[in-house]
Amino acid sequence: MLSHAGRRSRHLSSRVQQTLGHRPLPEPQVKWLGLEVRRHTVLDADHATVEFVARSRLHGRGQRLHETSRFVREDGRWYYVDGDVR
């Protein structure tokens, strides 16, 4: 579920891609069941990656999202840039 707060945590470049249809927003009926952070790596003072597995249920069917996400820090705040889904 991507709330208004979630949109503010996304880097401007990923928000532009999302509005262009490159990454659809989750359906509102999604029930999030869990999040496992498998690894985080600090690349430098302003760049990092996070590998995670998120579990959800949509229309009674279980789903799993395994992603390695890239983040950038600007003005002391971390923003999601993009990610590779496995």
pLDDT in tens, 57-76: 999 999 999 999 999 999 99
* Gap between the Cα atoms of 72 and 35, Å rounded: 21
CATH at 55 = 3.10.450.50
pTM of the model: 0.68
Contact 79, 73 (CB under 8 A): yes
How buried is residue 77: exposed, middle or buried, by Cβ count under 10 Å (0-12/13-18/19+)?
Answer: exposed
Give the model's pLDDT for residue 6.
Answer: 52
Give the model's pLDDT for residue 26.
Answer: 62
Domain coverage including residue 29: 4-85
Work out how many domains the chain is built from and give that number: 1
pLDDT in tens, 14-63: 654 544 455 566 667 889 999 999 999 999 999 999 999 999 999 999 99
